[in-house]
A and B are shown apart, each in its own frame.
Chain A
Amino acid sequence: MASTVDASSRQGFKLSQLIYDTRYRSLTIQAIAMALLVLFLSWLVSNTVQNLSDLGKDFDFGFLGQRAGYDINQTLIPYTSGSSHARAAIVGILNTLLVAFLGCILATIVGVIAGVLRLSKNWLVARLMTVYVEGFRNVPLLLWIIAIFAMMTEATPQPRDFREGGTASMWLWDSVAVSNRGVYIPAPVWGPGSTALIIVFVLSIAAIIGFRRYAFRRQEATGVLLPILPVSLALFFLPSILAYFVLGGPVSLAYPELGGFNFQGGLHMRNSLIALWLALSLYTGAFIAEIVRGGILSVAKGQSEAAFALGLRPSRTMNLVILPQAMRVIIPPLISQYLNLTKNSSLAIAVGYMDARSTLGGITINQTGRELEGMLLLGLFYLVLSLIISGAMNVFNARMKLKER
């Protein structure tokens, strides 16, 4: 290597070597590509700057501190029309996180069940799941969101039908009202002493986890099985219920009641939230079902036959042999489905759900005229959120993948 360099440097360096000499060619191409990329980016920036100055606009994030002036129906933190645009953006961001969180959970549940059932030997169940998967996977998400929203508003009774002598009545002993303005459910009221109750509950969850670890270790060491399920259930319920009565019932329920135009009290789950949540979950669930099915099918049949030959029951075969091997196939595409669901939640404006796109990327931009700044912030938010989700899922993946020793 050294001798060839010496030889060429002795002959002198010619410009044509940049193209014809394989030692330099790749460097030349990279340098040109880099230069073009930099030029393109600087053109984008200068074009933007030029157009902004033509329009007489500046680039300034000061609008975030101004009074927003508009109201938001679903706020997870205190907010009024007198709050700032920044706070309105945070309200929207929290609403996005809420629907994405709920959606990921429900989509996983629906997807796993549908994926497993699609492999069922029961002809009807397997076909029904096929219809579900193909139906949701192949129709645009926006249509499902609007369809579910339309069903919620058109097919459910309006609040004044719940009046005495009206046509509608509440469900579950007058505690749940399903109306065309959303579902009203009883809300917990945290009285004095409820903190202690929560601590007891958290401790009992920790105890369950600790007990399971202990049981597994003991089984590894001695082969003796401990009754995990009954103990877990007992740990889950008994301490909390005991603490509830000892503390004198610190948590009560506020039931929704009809007053004025709408129901008052209780927890109001708006139709926009429900429609968006269900549509996102069912749509993404269909993709997850296929991922789960593919993951299970990827485990060789010999694995389950070997497990059966060792005398393992079907449920144990699934939990101990099939799923651990299927998981490493399932998790990576599952991450991208979670990312899809989170980003798809920006379709919220179709049903008037006030997510980050509707507040920061919609009304705020419209009232302040800061399209560029608002869209950059919005893009940054989705980027950071996606990176966090995929980072967390990668950690989970690293823990779940087969330990090779």
Chain B
Amino acid sequence: MNKTAFLGALTVTGLAAGAAAAATLDDVRDRGTLNCGVSTGLTGFSAPDANGNWEGFDVAVCRAVAAAVLEDPEAVEFVPTTGQTRFTALASGEIDLLARNTTWTFSRDNDLKFEFVGVNYYDGQGFMVPKELGVTSAKDLGGATVCIQTGTTTELNLADFFRTNNMEYEPVPIETNAEAQQQYLADACDVYTTDASGLAATRASFENPGDHVILPEIISKEPLGPLVRHGDNEWGDIARWTLNALIAAEEYGVTSANIEELSQGTQNPEVNRLLGTEGNLGEMIGLDAEWAKRAIMAGGNYGELFERYLGESTPVGLARGLNAQWTDGGLLYAPPFR
């Protein structure tokens, strides 16, 4: 009898271990929703609107992937994560994709065993201070109290910056952007430091944004991008090429307004391949022919998303800068759809 129980348990063990390694794409299809990790709230990147619907630049990546895979941009389960919980959530399989202004670094890619599928925002770390302090340079911040989100690359950059400039500082560790905002506005810290885009987004939600300045120094490179787990290259490819499709669509002038018309067939074979009227790119990636078309229709191409959530007409008010297409002197460069 004991032998039977032992064999039975062995079987269960084998099954459970086997199930853990199944393909993410199948899991997502079976579930019918994409579990997407986002921030706990950062205006412009990922924040719930007045009706509780998540929206923002990172959220749009989740919706595009859901549209490509599940044919429904709304079929996303958003999982708010903090700087500390995000990697555990992804590694444990709680989320399928993490789109939470996360910096691509060597150790995250290799030591933490994640796969960054690209860069959706080229950023750098900056400092924000109240205007009345009269500080004009980050080099004047010796002795200051600095609010910093824990578990981020900015935390390490901050330590390095003050160390190399031989300055003392007092870190105030904070879990979320909302907490940091509250601490900063209560003057519990003199300075708030995070990615410059995050500073602009945070400042946009202040009552008097004009009372705060973002110092000119950018002390790091922060390429922010979506990421997936190591070990499932098919799923990583889907996320990577969905992002590339959004970027390529802007380059080729495919917008949410003209996409229906263009998908009738155009003179440009690259657009045709992107939209699935020519070739079999969709089949190669394990999806149907119109996957990229749906991803672009979910919210528009990269440029449209940028304008809607971060651009100069929004409260965040960011210029394209490094995030312009390579044809306009920026760094965005989608590999060919061929």
Contact = CB atoms under 8 A, between A and B. Distances in A.
Contacts of A352: 150, 172-175
A49 to B, nearest CB: 9
Interface string A57-72: 1000000000001111
Interface string A322-347: 00000000000000000000000000
Contact of B9 (A43, A73, A181): A43
A350 B142 CA distance: 27
Given A56-B113, A358-B173, A50 B163 contact: no
Contacts of A70: 155-156, 159
B187 interface: yes
Contact of A260 (B13, B142, B173, B231): B142
A298 interface: no
A363 interface: yes
Contacts of B159: 69-71, 81
Interface stretch (A31-39, A281-289, A304-312, A383-391): A31-39
Interface stretch (A197-205, A215-223, A365-373, A395-403): A365-373
B88 A55 contact: no
B106 interface: no
Interface string B192-221: 000000000000000000000000000000
A153 interface: yes
B17 interface: yes
B130 to A, nearest CB: 10
A261 interface: yes
Contacts of A134: none
A39 B6 contact: yes
A371 B88 contact: yes
A43 B91 contact: no
Nearest to A80: B163
A70, A181, A365 pick with most chain B CB within 10 angstroms: A70
B111 interface: yes
A181 B231 contact: no
Contacts of B170: 73, 181, 262
B322 interface: no
Contacts of A35: 2, 5-6
A180 B17 contact: no
B16 A368 contact: no
Contacts, number: 132
A50 B17 contact: yes
A335 to B, nearest CB: 32
B9 A39 contact: yes
Contact of A71 (B6, B9, B171): B171
Contacts of B107: 367-369
A72 B171 contact: yes
B186 A362 contact: no
A369 B112 contact: yes
B215 to A, nearest CB: 14
Interface in A1-49: 31-32, 35-36, 39, 42-43, 46-47
A70 B217 CA distance: 20
A56 B233 CA distance: 14
Nearest to A271: B188
B144 A261 contact: yes
A56 B144 CA distance: 42
A371 B91 contact: yes
Nearest to A82: B163
B145 interface: yes
Given A352-B172, A369-B87, A371-B88, A158 B143 contact: no
Contacts of B88: 365, 371
B2 to A, nearest CB: 6
A36 B5 contact: yes
Given A43-B16, A54-B21, A180-B187, A32 B2 contact: yes
A316 B70 CA distance: 79
A367 B156 contact: yes
Interface string A136-161: 00000000000000000110001000
A252 interface: no
Given A69-B156, A153-B188, A56 B231 contact: yes
Contact of A358 (B16, B150, B231): B150
27 contacts: A31-B2, A32-B2, A35-B6, A42-B13, A43-B13, A47-B13, A50-B17, A50-B20, A51-B17, A55-B231, A69-B159, A69-B160, A70-B155, A71-B155, A153-B186, A180-B188, A181-B145, A261-B133, A349-B173, A352-B173, A358-B150, A363-B150, A366-B83, A366-B87, A366-B151, A368-B107, A369-B112
Chain A to chain B: the 3 pairs with minimum beta-carbon distance, closest first: A369-B112, A81-B159, A366-B151
Given A51-B20, A54-B20, A369-B113, 9 more contacts: A31-B2, A39-B5, A39-B6, A56-B231, A71-B155, A73-B171, A358-B150, A365-B88, A368-B112
